[in-house]
Amino acid sequence: MAEGLVTDLIKQLVSVAALESEQEIRLVVGVDEEVEKLKCNLQTVTAVLNDAEKRQVTEETVKLWLEKLKDACYKMNDVIDEWNTAMIKSTIKKEEENVDNAHPVMKKKVRSFIIPSPSCCFHEVDKLVMRHDIAHKIKDLNRKLDEIVKEKDRYQFKLSNDPVPEVVNRPTTTSFVDVSEIFGRENVKNNLVRILLGRGGEEERRPRVISLVGMGGLGKTTLAQLAYNDPKVQDHFEIKVWVCVTDPFDKCKVAKEILESIEGQSPNLTTLQSLLDRICANIANEKFFLVLDDVWTEDYTMWDQFKVAFQCVALSSYIIVTTRKSRVAEMMGSVSVINLSELSKLDCWLIFSKIAFLDKDPEQCEQLEDIGRQIAKRCKGLPLAAKTLGSLMRFKKSREEWKTILNSNLWELEDVEKGLFASLLLSYYDLSSPLKQCFSYCAILPKGYIFSSDDLVFMWMAQGYIPSKSNMEMEVIGREYFENLFIRSFFQAFKEYPNDDKIRICKMHDIVHDFAQLMSKNECFTINSDIKLDSAKKEDIELGLDFKNARHLWLEISGEAHFLCPIIVQKIYALSFLSIAMIITYLIYSSILDVYRH
C-alpha cells in the first residue's frame, strides 16, 4: 500500500508544478528546489518499497519505518490539496480582475455605491501568509523525508527496478475460477446430510444444533453450503434460512435477517421481542432449518432468547452453526459437533492444480507439476490457501516464477493465522501498486459485508485510486481492477446482479478481510453506533484501536440510533481532517451514484 501512496504523490507533485507553470501562477515562490528534492526523495524510497513491504511482516523495525513513510506521504497529500485549493482561488481572482478590466465603466458605477470592506486591505497580506505557510510545510516534510531516506540504508533493502504489470490479462476461457467441485469433504458432507434428514425422538430438544468447528480457511462455510443446497435437504425442510452472523453478535440484526428471509421483505419492527414474536408465528410447527454462519460470541445470554423462541418448531428442525471456537459449540448446546480436519496432501493438490493449470497446455503442466506439488504441500491442508495460491500461480508460466514462490521466506511464518496469511501475502505482493491500494482499502468494509462491484469501483474512484482523464474511462479501468482481484480469489461471488451481468454481488472471506485489515492496520476503521448497547464493546475500542493514523472511517448508524454515543464522538474527533474529508467525498459520490442509477 505504501508503494501506491508514494507513486501517487510523485504524480501529484509533477501535476501541481506543471499546473502552476501553465497558468503562470507563482503562488509558492522559492520552493522549486524543495519540490524537486521531495520528488527525488520519493523516487529513492520507491526503489526499495517492494522489498520493505515484504519484510515488514517479519521485521517490526521495517514495519515502523514504513509507517513513518506513509504518515509523511499522507501529510504531503494534505499540503498538495492546500496548494491546489490556493491555485484555484488565485485563478478565480485573476479571472475576476480580467472581467473588471474588460468593463471599466460598469466597474466605476458599481464601486461608487460600495463602501470598501476592511478585509480587502488585508487580502494581499493573507495571501503572503498562506504562501509562506505552504512553503514552510514543504520544507518541514522534506526534512522528515531526509531522515526516512537516511534510515532506509540501515535495512539494506534490495532494489527493485522491474515494474509490476498494471493488470493481469483476463483468461479467454472464463473471467473467474470454476470451483464447483469440492475436494476432500464428500464423506463429511454425506454424514451431515444424513443427520439433517434423520428424525429425532419426542424427548429431544428442538431445534437440534449441529456445530461445524475449525480454524479459518478450513472450509466450514463451504461444507454448510453444500448441505444447505443439497436437493434432499431443500425438499425435506419447509422453511430454510441462511444468516451470516456479524461480530459482535447483534441480536436484533440477526432476528431481522431471519424474519426478512422468511417473509421476503424487510420488517418494520424494531424491538427484539416483536421480531421474535413474528418469527415464532411463521415457524410454529414447521420443519425449520437455519444456518448461522461464523458465530464468535461465547455469551450464553446472547443466544438464550433465540433458543427459547425456536422451541415452537416441529420435530426434525435443525440449526447449523459454523464457528472457529469449540466453546461456542458448547454454549449453543450442540447435539453434534463436527471438528473439521485439514485436507490431505492429495486433496490440497487437486484444488491447487485444478485452478493453477486451468489455462496451461499439457506440456506446461508437466514441466511445472513437481514444483506445484511442493507448493500445495505448504498449504498445510487449508482449502482457502490452496485456492488462493492456485489463483496466483495460474498467471505464472515459467519454472523460475514458480520457484520464486516456492522459495519465498514468507512460508517461515509460524503463527497459525499468519501461516494462512502467507498464501495471501504471496498473492498480495504479486499485485501492481494500484491493485494493492484498492485491495487494502477494502479493510474499511465491515466483516461479512455484501457489496456490488459497481459500488466498490465508485468508492475507489472517490479516493483517487484510479488514474484517468474521464469518469467513463475510470469506470472501465476500475472494473478491470475488480476483475483482477476477483480472479485472484480476493473476493467471493455472492450472487449475480439482477439487471446487469457486468456487476457482481460479492463479499470477502473472513480470513481475507482479516488480512486486508492487517495490511492497513490503524488506517481503516469501522465503527458501529450500536456500541453503546454493550459496555464490553466500548472496552474493545478503548483498548484495541489506535486512531492516531486513521485515514478512512466507515460509520454504521442503526435505525434505532438517535445520537452517537460519547465514545464514538470522541474517537471521530481524533480522526485527521483528511479522514473527515474522505467521508464527505464518499457521501457526495454516493449521492451522485444514486441519481445516476435512477
What does the CA dihedral 28, 29, 30, 34 come to, rounded to 10 degrees?
A: 20
The pLDDT score that the predictor gives to residue 101 is 64
Q: Please check the confidence at residue 114 and state whether its pLDDT lies above 80.
A: no
The reported pLDDT for the residue numbered 278 is 93
* Structure-model confidence comparison of residues 435 and 99, the more confident one: 435
Q: What is the mean pLDDT of the chain?
A: 75
Going by pLDDT thresholds of 50, 70 and 90, the confidence category of residue 160 is low
Residue 102: exposure state from Cβ atoms within 10 A (0-12, 13-18, ≥19): exposed
Domain ranges across the chain: 2-155, 186-339, 345-429, 431-520, 522-598
pLDDT band at 575 (very low <50, low <70, confident <90, very high): very low
Q: Are 372 and 398 in contact (CB under 8 A)?
A: no
pLDDT of residue 159: 75
* Nearest residue to 167 via CA among 559, 526, 438: 438
Q: Per the structure block, which three cell numbers stand in for 400?
A: 523460475
CATH of domain 186-339: 3.40.50.300
Answer yes or no: is pLDDT of 554 > 80. no
pLDDT at 577: 44
Question: Per-residue pLDDT for 169 more than 70?
Answer: no
Model confidence, pTM = 0.59
Residue of higher predicted confidence among 420 and 585: 420
| Cα separations in angstroms, 113 against 210, 499, 510 | 84, 60, 68
- Residue 250 confidence class, pLDDT cut points 50, 70, 90: confident
User: For 123-133, what is the mean pLDDT?
Assistant: 53
Task: Look at residue 320 and tell me whether its pLDDT is greater than 80.
Answer: yes
More confident site: 497 or 477: 477
CA dihedral 258, 263, 264, 269 (to 10 degrees): -70
User: If you write DSSP's letter for every residue of 204-268 in order, what string do you get?
Assistant: S-SSEEEEEE--TTS-HHHHHHHHHT-HHHHHH-SEEEEEE--SS--HHHHHHHHHHHHHSS---
Confidence band, pLDDT 50/70/90 cuts, at residue 35 = confident
Tens digit of each residue's pLDDT (9 = 90 or more) over 498-552: 555 566 788 888 778 888 887 887 677 766 655 443 433 443 444 345 566 677 7
- 354-385 pLDDT, tens digit each: 999 988 888 999 999 999 999 998 888 888 88
List pLDDT tens digits, range 181-236. Answer: 578 788 899 999 999 998 655 556 679 999 999 877 888 888 998 899 899 999 99
* Percent of the chain whose predicted confidence (pLDDT) is above 70: 68
Percent of the chain surpassing pLDDT 90: 19
pLDDT of residue 547: 60
pLDDT digits (tens, 9 = 90+) for 72-86: 887 887 887 777 777
Q: What is the CATH number of domain 431-520?
A: 1.10.10.10
Are 352 and 379 in contact by the 8 Å Cβ rule? The answer is yes
**Average pLDDT score over residue span 102-128:** 46
Residue 465 has pLDDT above 60, yes or no: yes
Q: With bands split at pLDDT 50, 70 and 90, how would you rate the model's confidence at 349?
A: very high
Strand segments (E) across 54-129: none
| Residue 337 DSSP class | E
Q: What was the pLDDT predicted at 501?
A: 58
Please compute the mean of the pLDDT values over residues 400-419 and round it to a whole number: 73
pLDDT band at 350 (very low <50, low <70, confident <90, very high): very high
